Structure 1
């Protein structure tokens, strides 16, 4: 689907195309403006490990790019179609947050887990974009940790009110599960939750893989 690049925002400072002289497009919804690019260039040529500019850049609040309204829950565009898809639609709630596992998509040499994360709005000032960390294990003993090449998009149009925020995400894992795998155990954790007075327990799901 097409995307109006006049709505683009710099992933480093959050300014729109109309507010900067030049905007350079990267993969997906990633952009960088000419001023932030110059700052990055200055940091690269500064021998100081933690220069003033580097610390200022790292301390900026995250810029979470909103998905186009028409995206819905479809899979973000890829160069190849999945060879197999499994609809999950399972959810768990804890401490004011809900994690909904939406679908599993199998590709030629990797698979993706698509999800919705509903939680209270994040306070301004975090120096990194919120993420869900995953640990996967199937009944054959194969394991996958973290995520590679995933993305997280803000979905404000799905929020039911000002007291919650909705994020649409996907996490990518390699290699594919073994053909003999029948049950995939998925554990997910919110790293920011570790700073709460009562840290939440990891979400735990047992997904049955259809033949």
Structure 2
């Protein structure tokens, strides 16, 4: 029986092969994508025993990977359509607060969901910090429909984009479903750092207004 290997998921980040440039197959149902492989390579070449990259990788929730199953014709068509966005909206909005910067880069529409791409620039976490929290997103359109980011979102450390030792850069995506309706004209996007409530004073959510 033949299987559709495009349904393989990276054992480190959970993304499907259609969401990455390259996927390397291991024994059984183990896979690793090119970005996670590069991250592992960076960790191996970092002399620090507990580098931020190593802590970020170790703190990720486990990815349950099952052996690929054969697809029905309807599933195959739906998955193929999700390989590339059907619409991309460039945003390039930026806000700063309490030493952190959040940059909203793009909205990408797929057949059944849409994704928000962003960069989070902030002071480095303290040594030994166990994980990098994902930013919490809340979206509302002009018709009153509301979304929160689902489990498809992810965040990756990008030390190559940092301008120096006093900041860390994280590249993230937040996924929302279903798609906005044709009546949607504007989106209000609120974003919060889950650790911000412990700051003095507590950080306030970022808020962006997007016209579609």
TM-score, with normalisation over the residues of structure 2? 0.64
Partner in structure 1 of residue 110 of structure 2:
107
Q: Out of 43, 56, 61, which is 1:62 matched to?
A: 56
| Contact kept in structure 2, 1:184 and 1:208, CA below 8 Å | yes
Instruction: Name the CA distance, whole Å, in 2 between partners of 1:157 and 1:89.
Output: 20
Once the two structures are superposed, the pairs formed by residues 60-139 of structure 1 within 5 Å of their partners are 61-63=55-57, 80-139=83-142
* CA positional deviation for 1:193: 1.3
Once the two structures are superposed, the pairs formed by residues 22-61 of structure 1 within 5 Å of their partners are 24-25=30-31, 61=55
Once the two structures are superposed, the pairs formed by residues 149-160 of structure 1 within 5 Å of their partners are 149-160=152-163
Instruction: Name the CA distance, whole Å, in 1 between partners of 2:33 and 2:147.
Output: 25
Q: Out of 157, 164, 168, which is 1:165 matched to?
A: 168
Partner in structure 1 of residue 70 of structure 2:
none
TM-score, with normalisation over the residues of structure 1? 0.64
| Contact kept in structure 1, 2:192 and 2:206, CA below 8 Å | yes
Instruction: Name the CA distance, whole Å, in 2 between partners of 1:132 and 1:26.
Output: 25
* CA positional deviation for 1:156: 0.7
* CA positional deviation for 1:127: 3.6
* CA positional deviation for 1:30: 5.8
Q: Matched residue pairs, number?
A: 150
| Contact kept in structure 2, 1:95 and 1:200, CA below 8 Å | yes
Query: Is 2:176 aligned against 1:182?
Result: no
Unaligned runs of 5+ in 2: 1-10, 14-29, 38-53, 60-80
